[in-house]
Chain A
């Protein structure tokens, strides 16, 4: 680890929430709801998750038509090529109880735009895409996307022509979805790495489309400020 001249800032106090989390966990372990070992394995697993493998899957599919066919036909098998083993790479060796082992890759076309939701509880393809963002988990998104998809997409800055089919995929059972967006113009001759960089998490959920030069998710104001500065503690 490199020497730093200044230590990184850290929060130097213990919050009630930090204490609550630990107390709940300790009691749960003592009561046998799960073991300390289980919890450690889950914590390690959660730490490994992120959106890069899914972005790379899309980039590979754009570059290789045969891989794209595989991805659409068998998402679990295609995931292996980006280092994600939905079956054996999980803490349980048969998939996790909330993610299962049935990834489906939804291929967009110029006339078909997919967008993903889980209306019931916000299921998400964690093994290949990481933890879901807060907005994805809210009843606001889950309730509205399935019924007013174009309004919700417009709020994300995405507007689509009327003749394009906007298809909402609701992952209410064991399948988990990622979207394979249309490869944008202006990316001719790009490497897999360059292509993966513009496939953001929001593109993989379907609420954004990849654009050359855009490598971050748009900032989302999900929650109004609830602890304004004048609250002194």
Chain B
């Protein structure tokens, strides 16, 4: 565990430090993915949020419900850490999505390679005419 600067006590917890090293798949998305702000501006869409934001919120709810695969406090603490480091330049809600994927990969809930394969398949599905 690396030493860190003194933590502000207001939001501090005493849990283990989250794993903050970059994940290649997510780094590629962070660098090249087009965020909603840019897309909406380009196409003249006035919705402040991307259509998938509601699905993301539901996923976070579902993960902390019944089987509780990823408890709320843990996910949020990691989201805070990742939002202040790796994903600090990514707007919300893209930032929340990357942090979620990051937490899930680091916990072994999904595998990075399999996520990459599934993304290719989803992209094919969504763009096939």
A and B interact physically: yes
Residues of B within 8 A of A222 (CB): 92
Q: How far is A96 from B58 in the complex, measured between Cα atoms in Å?
A: 12
Are the CB atoms of A34 and B67 closer together than 8 Å?
Answer: yes
* Residue interface mask A203-233, B partner, CB < 8 A = 1: 0000000000000000000110011000101
Asked if A21 meets B56 with Cβ closer than 8 Å, knowing A14-B123, A120-B73, A134-B92, the reply is: yes
| Choice from A13, A38, A45 contacting B39 with Cβ under 8 Å | A13
Name the CB-closest residue of A to B89. Answer: A226
> What is the minimal beta-carbon distance from A9 to any residue of chain B, in angstroms?
4
> What is the minimal beta-carbon distance from A73 to any residue of chain B, in angstroms?
29
Residues of A within 8 A of B122 (CB): 19, 22-23, 26
Q: How far is A121 from B45 in the complex, measured between Cα atoms in Å?
A: 31
Asked if A97 meets B72 with Cβ closer than 8 Å, knowing A15-B34, A18-B50, A223-B91, the reply is: yes
* Residue interface mask A119-155, B partner, CB < 8 A = 1: 1111000000001001001110011101100000000
| Choice from A27, A121, A142 contacting B118 with Cβ under 8 Å | A27
Instruction: For the complex, count residues of B whose C-beta is within 8 A of A.
Output: 65
| Choice from A13, A22, A33, A97 contacting B109 with Cβ under 8 Å | A33
Q: How far is A42 from B53 in the complex, measured between Cα atoms in Å?
A: 12
* Residue interface mask A140-179, B partner, CB < 8 A = 1: 0011101100000000000000000000000000000000
Are the CB atoms of A25 and B10 closer together than 8 Å?
Answer: no
Q: Does A92 make an interface contact (CB < 8 A)?
A: yes
Q: How far is A33 from B70 in the complex, measured between Cα atoms in Å?
A: 9
Q: Does B86 make an interface contact (CB < 8 A)?
A: no
* Residue interface mask B35-73, A partner, CB < 8 A = 1: 111111011110000111011111101111111111011
Are the CB atoms of A46 and B58 closer together than 8 Å?
Answer: yes
Q: Does A5 make an interface contact (CB < 8 A)?
A: no
Q: Does A80 make an interface contact (CB < 8 A)?
A: no
| Choice from B64, B76, B104, B118 contacting A97 with Cβ under 8 Å | B64
Q: Does B32 make an interface contact (CB < 8 A)?
A: yes
Q: How far is A210 from B50 in the complex, measured between Cα atoms in Å?
A: 30
Residues of A within 8 A of B66 (CB): 34, 38
Q: How far is A147 from B9 in the complex, measured between Cα atoms in Å?
A: 10
Residues of B within 8 A of A121 (CB): 72-73, 76-77
| Choice from A10, A26, A42 contacting B62 with Cβ under 8 Å | A42
Residues of B within 8 A of A69 (CB): none
Q: Does A28 make an interface contact (CB < 8 A)?
A: yes
Residues of A within 8 A of B119 (CB): 16, 19-20, 23
Residues of B within 8 A of A143 (CB): 8, 10-11
Q: How far is A122 from B90 in the complex, measured between Cα atoms in Å?
A: 19
Q: Does B20 make an interface contact (CB < 8 A)?
A: no
Are the CB atoms of B126 and A14 closer together than 8 Å?
Answer: yes
Q: How far is A106 from B68 in the complex, measured between Cα atoms in Å?
A: 31
Name the CB-closest residue of B to A8. Answer: B45
9 shortest interchain CB distances as A-B pairs: A16-B33, A42-B58, A34-B62, A121-B76, A23-B118, A43-B58, A143-B10, A9-B44, A33-B69
Q: A11-B43, A25-B55, A222-B92 are in contact. List 7 more A-B contacts (CB 8 A).
A: A15-B33, A18-B126, A20-B119, A22-B52, A28-B62, A142-B10, A233-B32
Q: Could you list 20 A-B pairs, sorted by A, with CB under 8 Å?
A: A9-B45, A14-B126, A18-B126, A20-B98, A21-B56, A22-B55, A22-B122, A24-B104, A28-B62, A28-B69, A31-B110, A33-B69, A34-B69, A45-B58, A46-B61, A97-B64, A119-B11, A142-B11, A144-B10, A226-B91
